[in-house]
């Protein structure tokens, strides 16, 4: 079986594939201080909870935007699984993704993996929005080539900044609300953040469509994709396993 790991700044998503089918998916908090021994204990527990032994993992692929964690994860793969993991970024990008972006080395591994997975699943042209620590927008043109995109602060860090910088405002959990006019400070923050991000997302998507002159399919993924996607007028598909699918496709290409 293939174990895929997508390491983000806030969360790490793990997926277990059997014959190209995603059979289990987990989301854990990214911890930059964990050692290879601690990670294997955690992964072993996740597998055991599903009745799966560690030994069934025959291959590992890793995508990471957190460089300090790579040593521990690579050591874990070699020490406990006896495999050399495939690391996204160690192979020429054009091996698995056509590129019109001027400097591909600037692209985060997550954006590359999402693009590969989305093209395989949905064709092109595409707009891919990933709601993570940052919210990223990627445009794939009609030739299935990566062109570029936009990056904005994510919902959580925006709310955290509001709490940190405004002494009298409380920290809140962002959730869907049915009205903009809040009857309390907490309701006002929740509605402002929620509708503000929905509006931002739709505005960025419309601008990408206008600049590209295309009508791309719009795919959303990441932690708050379902929260924002349900109210967005532009998001067409919410695919919470998109990055894992992209990792599995890259594995099939480079292996």
Q: How confident is the model at residue 162 (pLDDT cuts 50, 70, 90)?
A: confident
Q: Of residues 110, 130, 141, 239, which has the active-site annotation?
A: 110
Structure tokens of 235? 């998001």
pLDDT above 90 for 165: no
- Mean predicted confidence (pLDDT) in 194-203: 95
Is residue 148 within 8 A of residue 139, CB to CB? The reply is yes
The DSSP secondary structure of 53-67, one letter per residue, reads -GGG--EEEEEES-G
Q: Is 147 exposed, middle or buried (0-12, 13-18, 19+ CB in 10 A)?
A: middle
CATH of domain 93-247: 3.30.420.40
Q: How confident is the model at residue 164 (pLDDT cuts 50, 70, 90)?
A: confident
**Whole-Å CA distances, 173 to 87, 133, 169, 223, 228:** 34, 15, 13, 13, 14
Q: How many CB atoms lie within 10 A of CB 78?
A: 14
- Mean predicted confidence (pLDDT) in 193-211: 96
pLDDT above 90 for 82: yes
Q: How does the average pLDDT of the chain come out, rounded?
A: 93
The values of phi and psi at residue 15, to 5°, are: -140, 145
Q: What pLDDT does 26 receive?
A: 96
pLDDT above 80 for 198: yes
The values of phi and psi at residue 64, to 5°, are: -145, 140
Q: Point out which residues pair with 6 in neighbouring strands.
A: 13, 63
The values of phi and psi at residue 151, to 5°, are: -135, 130
State the Cα–Cα distance between residues 172 and 174, nearest whole angstrom: 6
pLDDT above 80 for 142: yes
Q: For 84-110, write each residue's pLDDT tens digit.
A: 999 998 888 888 999 999 999 889 899
Name every residue whose Cβ is closer than 8 Å to that of residue 20 and which is 6 or more positions away in sequence: 248, 252
Q: How confident is the model at residue 169 (pLDDT cuts 50, 70, 90)?
A: confident
Is residue 63 within 8 A of residue 254, CB to CB? The reply is no
Which of 150-164, 166-180, 213-227 has the weakest average pLDDT?
166-180
Q: How many angstroms separate the most distant Cα atoms in the chain?
A: 58
Domain 2-87: CATH class, spelled out: alpha beta
Is residue 61 within 8 A of residue 109, CB to CB? The reply is no
Is residue 148 within 8 A of residue 204, CB to CB? The reply is no
Is residue 168 within 8 A of residue 176, CB to CB? The reply is no
The values of phi and psi at residue 110, to 5°, are: -65, -40
Is residue 154 within 8 A of residue 147, CB to CB? The reply is no
Single out the residue of 134, 122, 100 nearest to residue 246, CA to CA: 122
Which of 114-118, 206-210, 221-225 has the weakest average pLDDT?
221-225
Residues of the chain within CATH 3.30.420.40 domain(s) are: 2-87, 93-247
The pTM (predicted TM-score) of the whole model is 0.91
Q: What pLDDT does 91 receive?
A: 82
Name every residue whose Cβ is closer than 8 Å to that of residue 135 and which is 6 or more positions away in sequence: 129, 151, 152, 153, 154, 155, 197, 201, 222
State the Cα–Cα distance between residues 68 and 35, nearest whole angstrom: 11
Annotation marks residue 37 as catalytic: no
Structure tokens of 21? 């089918």
């Amino acid at each position: 079986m293939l174990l895929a790991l997508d390491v983000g700044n806030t969360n790490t998503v793990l997926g277990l594939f059997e014959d190209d089918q995603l059979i289990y998916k987990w989301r854990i908090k990214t911890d930059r201080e964990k050692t290879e021994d601690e990670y294997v204990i955690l992964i072993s527990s996740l597998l055991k909870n599903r009745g799966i032994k560690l030994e069934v993992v025959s291959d590992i692929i890793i995508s990471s935007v957190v460089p300090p964690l790579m040593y521990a994860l690579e050591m874990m793969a070699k020490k406990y699984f006896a495999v050399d993991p495939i690391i996204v970024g160690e192979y020429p990008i054009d091996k698995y993704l056509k590129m019109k972006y001027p400097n591909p080395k600037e692209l985060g591994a997550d954006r590359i993996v999402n693009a590969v997975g989305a093209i395989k699943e949905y064709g092109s042209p595409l707009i891919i929005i990933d709601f993570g620590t940052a919210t990223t927008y990627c445009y794939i043109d009609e030739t299935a080539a990566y062109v570029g995109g936009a990056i904005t602060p994510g919902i959580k860090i925006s709310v955290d900044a509001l709490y940190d910088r405004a002494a009298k405002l409380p920290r809140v959990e962002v959730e869907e609300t049915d009205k903009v006019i809040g009857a309390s400070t907490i309701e006002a923050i929740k509605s402002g953040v929620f509708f503000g991000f929905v509006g931002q997302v739709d505005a960025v998507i419309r601008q990408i469509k206008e600049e590209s002159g295309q009508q791309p399919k719009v795919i959303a993924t990441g932690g708050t994709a379902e929260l924002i996607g349900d109210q967005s007028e532009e998001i067409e598909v919410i695919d919470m396993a998109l990055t894992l699918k992209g990792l599995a496709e890259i594995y099939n290409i480079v292996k």
